[in-house]
């Protein structure tokens, strides 16, 4: 899916993951984005530069603590996510389509447990 869908927008999986988090949470501290994506703050900074050049997100500094930076989607970034997410969701449905409904529930339950137990 990454090559087929994300390549159309020139995005990596990590960049898409960041955009998704911003789409859901609206404004996210860069430290939290790094933790969510499982990458370093330096990686987030590099990807942010690329996403800013594409006009998909922008940075804003916390007015109370200038060491803290938040990212938010631009209107263009929101539109990209509104276009991309349904394509990804369709791909996810296709990936698990060979599983029965019960197997899908069990897989979902197991993945949630892995995520929760590892603080992802």
More confident residue, 35 or 74: 74
Q: CA distances (Å), 58 to each of 50, 108, 112, in order?
A: 11, 33, 31
User: Does position 34 have pLDDT exceeding 70, yes or no?
Assistant: yes
pLDDT of residue 94: 84
Contact predicate 4/39, CB 8 Å = no
Of 81, 2, 91, 14, nearest in space to 46 by CA: 14
More confident residue, 1 or 3: 3
pLDDT of residue 115: 74
pLDDT of residue 1: 62
Contact predicate 68/62, CB 8 Å = yes
If one counts every other C-beta atom within 10 angstroms of the C-beta of residue 54, the result is: 16
pLDDT in tens, 79-114: 999 999 888 888 788 888 898 989 988 888 888 888
Of 22, 57, 48, 56, nearest in space to 36 by CA: 22
The pLDDT mean for the chain works out to: 88
Contact predicate 58/50, CB 8 Å = no
Domains of the chain: 2-117 (1.10.10.10)
Q: Kindly state the average pLDDT of the residues 29-47.
A: 88
């Amino acid at each position: 899916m990454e090559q087929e869908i994300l390549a159309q927008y020139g995005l990596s999986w990590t960049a898409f993951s960041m955009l998704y988090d911003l789409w859901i949470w609206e404004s996210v501290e860069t430290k939290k984005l790094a933790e969510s994506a499982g990458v370093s703050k330096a990686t987030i900074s590099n990807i942010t530069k690329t996403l800013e050049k594409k006009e998909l997100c922008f940075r804003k500094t916390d007015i109370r603590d200038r060491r803290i930076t938040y990212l938010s989607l631009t209107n263009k970034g929101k539109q990209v996510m509104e276009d991309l997410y349904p394509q990804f969701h369709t791909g996810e449905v296709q990936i698990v389509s060979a599983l029965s409904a019960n197997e899908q529930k069990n897989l979902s339950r197991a993945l949630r447990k892995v995520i929760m137990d590892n603080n992802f």
